[in-house]
Amino acid sequence: MKFLAAAVQMLATSDKEANLREAERWIRQAHAAGAQLVVLPEVFNWRGRGADTAASAEPVPGPSTERMSALASELGLYLLAGSILERPDSGNRAFNTSVLLGPGTGIIARYRKIHLFDVDIEGEEPIRESRFRQPGDAVVVADTPLCPMGLSVCYDLRFPELYRRLTERGARIIFVPSVFSTATGPAHWEPLLRARAIENQVYVIAPDQTGDHPASMGAYGHSMIVDPWGKVVAKADTEPGVILAPIDIDYLEEVRRRLPALSHRRGFLEASG
């Protein structure tokens, strides 16, 4: 199985309609280039002040996912709506939710970001994602005709146990839609993405937001697609746009046959804690 995948890099703002139009433009461009799978970044439809989270949150399914779903069906492609802020059934703290959409199928899978970004980085304002958002608690792998796909979001990248769970459940591609900080990106972004790809022998597709935003921390950009050997096969710079790379599942399986590290794991290490 071979197909073309695309990652969309955006500079989203608090103007939801403008963001959706921008996402649609890049999706159509990726489709015109032959992409069968398009992946959007974290909070692609709204990026604004934390205090405005509740007012900007939507149900899932809801307006943004339905609009993206209609486009996926029109173009006949699989689309990861990177993440949107999902309105909870109760309370004011939204979920940061990634939604996988299919052609003619609507929502295939929904993943609520598990790990929340609560950090104090020197030279930066303290960040408390948990103040306005709540964590999910489910590991999600979606079976599709292209291949099984694992879902994660941004800060999840620092927790390798999640990616091993996704791999154990069959993922051949793992998504990492992000708003990765400019403070940590230069040192951590590429090494972490390549590590997750290498240790799990999967493709990693990581579309990032980019640029400064007056109501949000700066985003690093440099969206990437990494192959199961750890090679960066597509990489953006700091401008909005689309990157494309072929996904070759047969090659992935060959990597696993030739270097069968996943089968060499020693169970007693996990049992001993």
| Residues taking part in catalysis | 42, 113, 154
Asked if residue 9 lies in contact with residue 210, where contact means CB atoms within 8 angstroms, the answer is yes
Cα separation, 273 vs 263, whole angstroms: 19
Residues 256/201, Cβ–Cβ less than 8 Å: yes
d(CA 260, CA 273): 24
> Which phi and psi angles does 128 have, rounded to 5°?
-130, 80
Q: Do 142 and 109 touch, CB atoms closer than 8 A?
A: yes
- The DSSP secondary structure of 68-121, one letter per residue, reads HHHHHHHHT-EEEEEEEEEPPSSSSPEEEEEEEEETTTEEEEEEE--S--EE--
Cα distance between the two ends of the chain: 38
